[in-house]
Amino acid sequence: MVNLQAVKEQMRPGVALVAVSKFHPAPLIEEAYHQGQRIFGESRVQELQAKHEALPADIEWHFIGHLQPNKVKYIAPYISLIHAVDSERLLSEIEKQGAKYQRVIPCLLELHLAEEETKYGFTPEACSEMLERGAWRELKHVQIAGLMCMATQTDDEAQVRREFHTALTLWQEYKQKYFAHDDAFKHRSWGMSHDYHIAMDEGATLVRIGTAIFGEREY
């Protein structure tokens, strides 16, 4: 049983729900699909490949996890949005594969704002520096469509809110400086099962929710 409707009812205007289906089997995804869900998020390439082949063609697949450059080629033909671009090397590889498949691939830049050392992403300094340098403007098969981040895993709501707020402030700064005339730069991907209400307070346009819809994952 998927708990999709209750989560959908929590969505505020302008926020799209990414149903994070990683580790869950295809029948559960089909159940959500039959209830109208079309955007699903996966974080492992092999698993995504299998599900993409098995499930309806009008599903919009989002890649939400850490993506190794050498695996971009597998998902480049069909991926709708890559959420967690965390290096320029990955960006160049997406460009290369986008060119090969004659697609412009929408991507979000992942910010590293959480305290955990294990999390990937650009520091705000590195992200600002990269955007300022401007080499990304030459990438014709990559569309930078916004920012993504994960907050620190903590019960301290104020800290989570501060981190999302920092992300929102950076998004506004980048929008103004680099993307003022680019309507495609519109996404703010933050919020998971335990913190998506705070994320929506802080301007999320995409929330990535797994557990609250599909239950606990089995690893």
Ligand X SMILES: *Cc1c(COP(=O)(O)O)cnc(C)c1O
Q: Could you say whether residue 22 binds ligand X (CB under 6 A)? A: yes
Q: Find the Cα–Cα–Cα–Cα dihedral 188, 136, 114, 61, rounded to 10°.
A: 50
Q: How far apart are CA 176 and CA 191, in angstroms?
A: 23
Q: Could you say whether residue 210 binds ligand X (CB under 6 A)? A: yes
Closest approach of Cβ 32 to ligand X, in Å?
14
Residues 185 and 173 sit within 8 Å (Cβ to Cβ): no
Closest approach of Cβ 55 to ligand X, in Å?
18
What element of type H or E holds 209?
Answer: strand 206-209
Q: Could you say whether residue 3 binds ligand X (CB under 6 A)? A: no
Q: Could you say whether residue 192 binds ligand X (CB under 6 A)? A: yes
Q: Work out which of 17, 19, 20, 204 binds ligand X, going by CB under 6 A.
A: 20
Q: Work out which of 7, 48, 65, 97 binds ligand X, going by CB under 6 A.
A: 65
Instruction: State the Cα angle at 169 between 166 and 172, rounded to 5°.
Output: 150
Residue 71's nearest CA partner among 96, 51, 36 is 96
Q: Which residues contact 197 (CB under 8 A, 6 or more apart)?
A: 10, 191
Q: Could you say whether residue 44 binds ligand X (CB under 6 A)? A: no
DSSP, res 189: E
Q: Residues touching ligand X: how many (CB under 6 A)?
A: 14
Unique residue bearing structure tokens 């597998």:
74
Closest approach of Cβ 149 to ligand X, in Å?
9
| Cα of 182 vs its chain's centroid, Å | 19
Tokens, residue 122 = 């650009």
Closest approach of Cβ 120 to ligand X, in Å?
10
Q: Work out which of 7, 168, 206, 209 binds ligand X, going by CB under 6 A.
A: 209
**145-184 mask for ligand X (x: CB under 6 A)?**
-----x----------------------------------
Q: Could you say whether residue 193 binds ligand X (CB under 6 A)? A: yes
Contacting residues toward ligand X, per CB under 6 A: 20, 22, 43, 64-65, 150, 192-194, 208-212
